[in-house]
Amino acid sequence: MSCTIIVGGFFGDEGKGKIVAHIAMKDRPVIISRGGVGPNAGHTVTVDAHAYGVRMVPSGFVYPDARLMIGSGVLLDPRVFLREVEALKVKDRIFVDKRCGVIEAHHIERDRGSDHLSKKIGTTGTGCGPANADRVLRVAKQAKDLPELAGYLADVPLEINHALDAGDRVILEGSQGFGISLYFGTYPFVTSKDTSASQVAADNGVGPTRVDEVIVVFKAYPTRVGEGPFSTEMAPDMSKTLGIEEFGTVTHRPRRIGTWDGEMARYAAMINGCTQAAITGIDRVDTACLGKTKYSELTEKAKRFIDAAEKDIGAPVTLISTGPDIDHIIDLRSEI
Ligand code: IMP
Ligand code: MG
């Protein structure tokens, strides 16, 4: 297994960050590179009870021996990037593709303006939509145009493909969920780009024939932030009763919460070319599962849930997250 892509199967916030961090610590990749839209993403990684929220730096940063990269397709907000690089002390091992599109202050203003996208479709207001629009119009800046990024520039596809040629392990991490893909999601309530595994490969200049595994992350109780259809959404008092309120990492808005959507899981697995699935939040299906690290320790109720999910997805569930911490995980990958 040399090139693994990790993406979200529902509407985002499936816990990709934690799954990436776990796989990175365990598989020891030489490169972990971000695909996806840009700093609209918010990935939470909890290590030793400290929660890190990252928006630009790959979630795999917790594994100290990997080089971290941001693929050519991704939008870069230099302010967010430099702040995170400083806070996480990853200056010496992070690289930005020279062709990344740049988000400027006016993109953020256009995203947040009163008659604009943040009101209409509940965007994150991080400037991604307007910046991608400018990129398509060919008026956007690129990372190589910014002096403050000079020390970070690389040809990310070249680095990744050379690593793959050498037989080294690479992880490509997506952002945003399948349901908000510009192509396959609930248009117009979507983000400004496709979010599927093919896009994550393209963002990093990795051809489809070079990808070995696609891990799609699903959460037991899917969530959605912002506007748009959500067929399995539950009433807010129901999620309160279940004790599963959530708030966005980037916007701090309350997340809408729903029940498992088998039909969506099947469709997401198909388009992503899912080879393995991860299920997060199994401790919400049954609180007795919190923090468990072995499949045999799960309750019958949780095992039934996973069996049913596996049938929907049509691929083996090899990773089961049992709580927020990076160690709260059951990893069955060696058993398939
Ligand atoms: P934009 O990506 O900021 O343009 O927002 C478009 C839609 O995608 C809105 O409904 C956002 O709430 C949603 N969205 C964008 N990024 C994320 C994410 O990382 N997690 C969850 N929802 C997201
Ligand atoms: Mg998030």
Could you report the per-residue pLDDT of 135-160, keeping only the tens digit for each?
Answer: 999 999 999 999 999 999 999 999 99
The number of beta carbons lying within 10 Å of the beta carbon of residue 67 is 20
Q: Output the pLDDT for position 219.
A: 98
Query: What pLDDT score was predicted for residue 115?
Result: 64
Give the distance (Å) from ligand 2 centre to CA of residue 183.
20
Can 325 be counted among the known catalytic residues?
no
Task: Write down the residue that tokens 């493909």 correspond to.
Answer: 161
Class (C level, CATH) for 2-335: alpha beta
**pLDDT of the chain, 336 residues: tens digit per residue:** 599 999 999 999 999 999 999 999 999 999 999 999 999 998 888 888 888 889 999 999 999 999 999 999 999 999 999 999 999 999 999 999 999 999 999 999 999 986 667 778 889 999 999 999 999 999 999 999 999 999 999 999 999 999 999 999 999 999 999 999 999 999 999 999 999 999 999 999 999 999 999 999 999 999 999 899 999 999 988 988 888 889 888 888 899 999 999 999 999 999 999 999 999 999 999 999 999 999 999 999 999 999 999 999 999 999 999 999 999 999 999 876
d(CA 100, CA 38): 10
Instruction: Locate 86 and state its tokens.
Output: 């400083």
Length of the chain: 336
Any idea which ligand is nearest the CA of 107? 1
Q: Of all protein residues, whose CA lies closest to atom 9 belonging to ligand 1?
A: 123
Tokens of 77: 């907000």
Q: Which of 13, 134, 203, 286 is catalytic?
A: 13
327 is catalytic: no
Residue that has been written with the tokens 């969506």 in this structure? 264
What pLDDT score does 334 carry?
A: 82
CA-nearest residue, atom 8 of ligand 1? 191
Domain spans of the chain, in order of start: 2-335
Q: Which residues contact 112 (CB under 8 A, 6 or more apart)?
A: 118, 125
Model pLDDT, residue 292? 98
Residue 259 corresponds to which tokens in the numbers above? 């029940």
- For residue 175, CA distances in Å to 15, 113, 285, 311 come to 10, 24, 25, 25
Ligand lying closest to the C-alpha of residue 249: 2
**CB hemisphere CA count around 80 (13 angstroms):** 23
- Our measurement of the distance from residue 251's CA atom to the centroid of its chain's CA atoms, rounded to an integer in Å, reads 16
| DSSP-based three-state secondary structure for 62 | helix
In contact, 22 and 32? CB cutoff 8 Å: no
Provide the strand spans (E) within the chain.
3-8, 31-34, 43-47, 50-54, 67-70, 75-76, 94-97, 101-102, 153-154, 170-177, 213-219, 223-224, 256-257, 276-280, 317-321, 329-331
State phi, psi for 131 to the nearest 5 degrees: -70, -40
At residue 230, what is the residue type? F
Smallest CA separation from ligand 1 atom 21, residue: 12
pLDDT at residue number 336: 60
d(Cα 289, Cα 297) in Å, to the nearest integer? Answer: 7
Catalytic residue among 43, 77, 111, 261: 43
Whole-angstrom CA distances from 198 to 9, 54, 202 are 13, 23, 6
| Ligand 1 center to 56 CA (angstroms) | 14
Nearest Cα residue to 269 out of 304, 325, 317, 301: 317
pLDDT at 158: 98
Which residue in this structure is represented by tokens 């995980």? 329
pTM for this predicted structure: 0.96
Distance CA 321, CA 281 (A): 6
> How far does the centroid of ligand 2 lie from the alpha carbon of residue 190, in Å?
15
d(CA 197, CA 215): 9
Predicted pLDDT at 179: 98
CA distance 6 to 91: 24
| Cβ contact 95:144 at 8 Å | no
Q: How far apart are CA 107 and CA 80, in angstroms?
A: 14
Q: Which two tokens stand for residue 85?
A: 């690089």
Query: Tokens 């959507």 — which residue?
Result: 261
* Residue 30: other Cβ atoms inside 10 A: 17
Block residue for tokens 């991608």: 132
Q: How many whole angstroms from 137 Cα to the centroid of ligand 1?
A: 22
User: What are the beta bridge partners of residue 228?
Assistant: none
Strand partners, 52: 45
Q: Which two tokens stand for residue 32?
A: 């972990």
